[in-house]
Amino acid sequence: MTRAKIAGGAFATVLLLLALAAGYRAFHQDVQPAAATSPAIKPSTAREAAETHPAAATYQGFLYGRIATIDGATYQGRLRWGDGQQEAFWSDSFNGVKHENPWLAHMPPERLKERRPIEILGIEIAHKESPIDFSRPLVARFGEIARIEARGGEVRVTLKSGTVFDLDRSESSDFDDGVRVWDGKRGVVDLDSLRIRTIELLPTPPMGSAPYRLHGTVRTRQGDFTGFVQWNREECVGPDELDGHTGKDRLSLRFDTIRSIARRSRDSSLVTLLDGRGIELSGTSEVGRGNRGIYVDDRRYGQVLIPWDAFERVDFSSGGSGPAYGDFPPGRPLAGSVTTRAGRRLAGRLVYDLDESETTETLDASSEGVDYTIPFSLIASIVLPGGEDHGAQRASVTLHDGEKLQLERTGDLGEGNAGLLIFVDGRQRPEYVPWTDVEQVDFNRLNQAPHG
Supply the DSSP string of 382-443, one letter for each residue. EE---GGGTT-SEEEEEETTS-EEEEES-GGGSTT---EEEEETT-SSPEEE-GGGEEEEEE
Q: Which domain holds residue 401?
A: 326-443
Q: What pLDDT score does 215 carry?
A: 97
Whether 330 and 309 map to the same domain: the answer is no
Q: What is the mean pLDDT of the chain?
A: 84
Q: Quick one: 427 and 354 in the same domain?
A: yes
Residue 27 lies in a domain: no
**Mean of pLDDT values over 319-338:** 95
pLDDT tens-digit series, residues 126-138: 666 666 777 788 8
Q: How many domains are there within the chain?
A: 3
For residue 33, tell me if it sits in a domain.
Answer: no
* 238, part of any domain: yes
| 47-106 residue pLDDT tens | 344 434 444 447 899 999 999 999 999 999 999 987 656 789 999 999 888 888 888 888
Would 45 be classed as within a structural domain? Answer: no
DSSP structure class, residue 283:
S
Lowest mean pLDDT: which of 113-122, 203-212, 314-323, 346-355?
113-122
Residue 353's alpha-carbon distances to 24, 35, 207, 236, 285, in angstroms, are: 51, 48, 42, 32, 35
Q: In Å, how far are 71, 160, 407 from 200, measured between CA atoms?
A: 17, 11, 37
287 and 348 in a single domain? The answer is no
In 10 A of CB 366, how many CB atoms?
Answer: 18
Helix/strand/coil for 306: strand
Classify residue 207: in a domain, yes or no.
no
